[in-house]
Structure 1
């Protein structure tokens, strides 16, 4: 046993640091600290290395936090002029939207009133709006017309085309009157009669075509009237035939057709060119008439109209006329009085 296993004697001066296990490690510098030294480890014959102080590394630089505004910190909303212009633009846009909504509301209200008046039937008070005459004119409008209100969605396009077609025929007759006037200026002997008839055709055909074939087709699509369909077919077919005669241009009839136009080229080229333009308009008018006649007839076949319904509508319309009923009553009374007088 080691001598340190028992208490030493008082006279023995023993230095515990002179122990061989300690001295053999103190002479080496293999360990840096005493914490790594294990005196009971005999596997290592070298002493711990000397302690080396490590240089402390510098802490990483502090990152600047993002610039965040606080509730008490004022924000930069731009200049006063920019803010004022933005507010003005927003206000103008809101006012525009408000005016648009008010306009639509007025249109819807007007449409509802017109639909209510149309639902009441012919006895409803509807203000005439065609022709659109100025207020100072002593003569007021004669008809009420609103395609978007009175005509069904499926037939609005056709009725609108027929309305523009009537306007086109009126403008063509007006141009025919101008070209006849030009012909009368270069050929007073033969152009006088044509110019007079051209004025007559314009005055006669413009209102009569509106009343005789446009209004029947308008009322036919409005109320699915068989009688108006047949009236339109009869009058418009005759009108198309007359348009073909206009296109031919028979001399002395007052139409600047192809024959008269080509003959006028020998007298005056400028007047002949004007009349040739009128002949082109007459040709387009006649061709468009044939196309629209077939178009309306195809739509007529899709409806419930028939000749029997047309007869019934005609009889009902005639008997509902107050003048006809008064005349019938008067004739019946007279016949009865004559029969009673004859028996006496």
Structure 2
């Protein structure tokens, strides 16, 4: 064996091969102070303390991005199946809605103008028919069995232009209120006459005012005002201004209530308060109604005068209309022809 080792035999003896711990690789990794095994390893031994905590340095904030437009936001958001799609911004939709409203307004104005032209055309056709197409009178609205038939035709929505219909309707309601006030004034004077026989003159005048002012006010100032706005007549405007001014003076006198004039105004109501409070309350209500009518009459007179000045009417135009109306009247023309014929006949008979 010694000879074989000395002779450099590369194959060791079988005894050496039987002991695995004699392997140089194993001997090299035996336990030593330099190489600690797993049994004696201590992870907390000779360990330095961890460094102190320091907050991390914040990263620089990125540059702010421009706000996304409305279409991009709406495109990034998923729409529900029932939600309508928005194809434009809010400002675009608002401008489109405003344009649509403006178009609708213009369309309504054009429709009103078309209706006005249609109405004027029907009037011209009626005039061209020479009276065969005249409308049947409908005012006052009397029943068919009444022996008295309506005397006027009145249709504010058809005959009066659109911009003047409210004014004409207000004047019509003013005439109705004045008629109602005259009727209540008659009842108040009748009640006073029942408690005081010395007020018989006032009761009689109240009946006269009711029978006189009701038809005369309609014919003398309401109908001229109606025809003035219907045909833009300067002559009818002048007639209305003159007569309605006098009517306003009577409205003020009715509100004052001078004793013995047949008006249950403030003065008469205060006089009756001491004698009979019940009759005085009725007369006070009439006086209040007369006052409201007087104020409304003055306001409407001023308003109609301002409308008259905007229509381009004038006194010269009123004179021309009056002359044309007089000479176009068949009765006037007949009377003028008869007078001319009589004058010519007298001239020939003269020596």
Give 1:1-344 correspondences, 5 Å limit.
Answer: 117-122=122-127, 123=131, 124-189=133-198, 191-342=199-350, 344=351
Distance 1:113 1:227 in 2: 26
Q: Give the secondary-structure state (helix, strand or coil) at the position aligned to 1:155.
A: helix
Distance 1:135 1:251 in 2: 42
The C-alpha deviation readout for 1:271-323, integer Å capped at 9, x for no partner, is: 01110111111111111110000010010011021101100000111111111
Distance 2:207 2:118 in 1: 42
Partner of 1:53: none
Residues 185 and 286, structure 2, Cα contact 8 Å, conserved in 1: yes
Q: Structure 1 residue 229: deviation in Å?
A: 0.3
Q: Where in structure 2 are there 5+ consecutive unaligned residues? A: 1-115
Distance 2:190 2:167 in 1: 35
Q: How many residues align?
A: 233
The C-alpha deviation readout for 1:144-169, integer Å capped at 9, x for no partner, is: 11111111111011001011111010
Q: Structure 1 residue 113: deviation in Å?
A: 9.7
The TM-score with structure 2 as length reference comes to 0.64
Distance 2:270 2:347 in 1: 68
Q: Structure 1 residue 326: deviation in Å?
A: 0.8
The TM-score with structure 1 as length reference comes to 0.65
Q: Where in structure 1 are there 5+ consecutive unaligned residues? A: 1-110
The C-alpha deviation readout for 1:155-188, integer Å capped at 9, x for no partner, is: 0110010111110100000000000001101101
Cα RMSD (Å): 1.8
